[in-house]
Amino acid sequence: MQDTPPSVPDFTQWPSFPFEGDLRVKQLDDPVPVEPPRRGEGNRECTACNAPDEAYIWVGERWRVRAMDRPTGLPMVLILESRSHLDLGDLPNLLAAELGVMTVRLERAIRSLDGVARVHVNRWGDGSAHLHMWFLARPYGRLQLRGTFLSLWDSILPPISEAQWRENLALVAAWLAEFGGRPLAEPPRIQWQAPSSLAESRAESTESVAEDEAASVIEAAEEIPEPTEAPGPTAAPVPEGTHPPTDGPKPEATPKSTDAPQSEAAPESTDVPESEESLGTGEPKSEQPQAG
Ligand SMILES: [Zn+2]
């Protein structure tokens, strides 16, 4: 512990903050003079570039959309990737314009799902150099999940059902295909087996839908830790090359709550539109930051 630990910020008291009890602020490591390469940077392999279309739920000429490898706590968590190995700031005008169109399209598709109140769009990019945008669906009515802690709640809430998850993936893929491209997420299959067999079926779906290893947005963030230690150790659990999707997630480490949530308070821009509502509420402070 430190001699004079910084005080815990007010947001730890917000309804949306997932934890309670005695908390203390972690001491920061010294900054490194040179940051380690991200996935797809330097001599590190790019999971996204190596991932076959089959690892995605929808693919187009220049964009692909993938899911986690299994259901998580939120109704839907998807990642939009460019086919080209470019980072956000490097997109040529054509792709930059399409990113806007794809972002709006995907947001609508996810928001159209039953039980989804809002779709949070995030781009972190600390894990992978290959552009990947996160789309996190907030369940309707769950006011405590509003804001930037949503990515944390994804790992805290019990996973949605396999059947619901697959159905949602198929719906989103079909929605996107209305505008072109190819849907790869198959409609949910009829469960002829007993509920107890769901675990098995899950394995199948996993393979067909995506092979990500990251189980949630946050885990994806694992990457963050890696950099600190060394370019690879942390990632150990999930061979990069192995799971394309994974990266995504991890890349996303982006989403990584780690990175993002906090640092990117920036999210504001994202939420801004949404926060409108929250702004009106009585807890402006808490909501804005989070919502943002
Ligand atoms: Zn790449």
How close is the Cα of 64 to the center of ligand 1, in Å? 12
pLDDT exceeds cutoff 70 at 2: no
Q: Position of tokens 């394995």?
A: 203
pTM, to two decimals? 0.69
Residue 92 lies in a domain: yes
How many whole angstroms separate alpha carbon 150 and alpha carbon 217? 10
How close is the Cα of 73 to the center of ligand 1, in Å? 28
- Give the DSSP H or E segment for 122: strand 116-122
> Which tokens is 251 given?
């890349």
First to last CA, the chain: 31
Q: pLDDT digits over 211-251, tens only? A: 344 566 766 654 544 433 343 333 333 333 333 333 333 33
pLDDT exceeds cutoff 80 at 160: yes
Q: Position of tokens 């790992």?
A: 155
Residue 24 lies in a domain: no
> Which tokens is 286 given?
């808490």
Closest CA to 158 of 252, 257, 71, 261: 71
Closest CA to 271 of 75, 108, 121: 121
How close is the Cα of 68 to the center of ligand 1, in Å? 18
Residue 141 lies in a domain: yes
Which residue range is the domain that position 156 belongs to? Answer: 55-186+205-291
How close is the Cα of 237 to the center of ligand 1, in Å? 21
How close is the Cα of 39 to the center of ligand 1, in Å? 8
Confidence of residue 193 (pLDDT cuts 50, 70, 90): low
Residue 100 lies in a domain: yes
How close is the Cα of 40 to the center of ligand 1, in Å? 5
Assign residue 180 the CATH number of its domain: 3.30.428.10
How close is the Cα of 3 to the center of ligand 1, in Å? 44
Q: pLDDT digits over 64-85, tens only? A: 999 999 999 999 999 999 999 9
How close is the Cα of 132 to the center of ligand 1, in Å? 10
Task: Give the per-residue pLDDT at 228.
Answer: 38
Residue 20 lies in a domain: no
Residue 151 lies in a domain: yes
- Write out the E strands in 170-248: 182-183
How close is the Cα of 133 to the center of ligand 1, in Å? 14
How close is the Cα of 238 to the center of ligand 1, in Å? 17
Residue 49 lies in a domain: no
Handedness of CA 11, 12, 15, 18 (dihedral sign): positive
Our count of domains for the chain comes to: 1
Residue 217 lies in a domain: yes
> 143 vs 76, 116, 233, 247, 290, CA distance in Å?
17, 12, 38, 30, 11
Total Cβ atoms within 10 A of residue 23: 11
- Give the DSSP H or E segment for 149: none
How many whole angstroms separate alpha carbon 124 and alpha carbon 211? 21
Range from 55-64, 269-278, 280-289 that averages highest in pLDDT: 55-64
